[in-house]
Chains A and B, each alone.
Chain A
Amino acid sequence: MEVNVMQDILGKNDALADAMKADFAARRIFVLNLMGSPGSGKTTLMEATLRALSGELRMAVIEGDLFTSKDADRIGACGAPVVQINTAGGCHLDAPMVEKALASLDLDHLDLIVIENVGNLVCPAEFALGEDAKAVVLSVTEGDDKPMKYPLMFKESAVALINKTDLLPFTNFDLAQATEDVRTIHPDAEVLSISATKGDGMEAWFDWLRGKVKAKKDGAA
């Protein structure tokens, strides 16, 4: 007997993500799924972002990691509410993990939630978490071939942050080529060159975030 199914394999995850997204929309919280390789600078980016914007935006961070609370400790030291998710070896976050973490946050008093995914350029791109947008951090020490090697990650991300530009003189990273490759995969993507440790280019990133949070508040996003 043949049964016609036509059902999405990640349908359960997607349905939960959709429900969470509707809840975020009702509360007008902008939610960002932040992805990138291990060591690309996701946590450093968040530390700098919290320090710069904590006076104007009410932010919380959900930290996904295989083990340890090292990243959550760093975020907590910046004074922001933070929830740690340990995937115990799992290579990505999924919607049920994030839903559970949300119970620890005061959702009535937040403008922005950043979900820092597990360091990985492959798996996280496939799992919706209820976010409004995805962002990817690529550091120049990883090499300029990464957008073309991991196209799904860059196709899914509304903004690509090319980080550690202060190290460009010590690498053979071709910034123009990497930027062009991201735009070839995702013509509408915002590509921002930054150094999260030195502060270069960070104002453009803050403006991008401010714009998204404001649009969400205004009911446009």
Chain B
Amino acid sequence: MHEMAIAEGILDIAKEHAAREKSDRITKIGLLIGEMAGVEEDALRFCFSSLVQGTLAEEAELSIKRMPLVGRCDACDYEKQIENYNFICPKCGGGLAVVSGRELRVEYLEMD
């Protein structure tokens, strides 16, 4: 259950930006979460909702965009969406390196 640590990271980033913009209310937080980011969405929402009580993000909506898992072959540059965690290149048998799908990122914030 590392989702609480992730929720804390999100709140920290939100607070920093709110302070910079002199805002005291965050209304929406846009997240990019990769398919292979090891984050359980419901657990993250639950942790976040309990963490933000009494903070400037108390009413913030979490908008989560899941990023597809995409790999590129180290040997032949072939790029494909990864299915069933198969990271073997279908063209040449090389290994596919992750180009997307491991994101754990705050994309944008909306604040008053």
Which A positions have Cβ atoms within 8 angstroms of B? 1-13, 91-92, 94, 122-123, 125-127, 148, 151-152, 155, 183-188
Contact = CB atoms under 8 A, between A and B. Distances in A.
A212 B16 CA distance: 40
A107 B46 CA distance: 41
A190 to B, nearest CB: 13
A186 B94 CA distance: 10
Contacts, number: 92
B96 to A, nearest CB: 8
B86 A184 contact: yes
- B: interface residue count bin: 20 to 34
B2 A185 contact: no
Interface of B: 1-2, 5-6, 9-10, 12-13, 17, 21, 23, 30-31, 36-38, 84-88, 94-96, 98, 104-112
A91 B1 contact: yes
Contact of B36 (A1, A94, A155): A155
A7 B105 CA distance: 5
B21 A3 contact: yes
Contacts of B85: 148, 151, 155, 184-185
A92 to B, nearest CB: 6
Contacts of A125: 38
Contacts of A126: 2, 37-38, 104
Nearest to A151: B85
B32 to A, nearest CB: 8
A7 B103 CA distance: 10
A94 B86 CA distance: 29
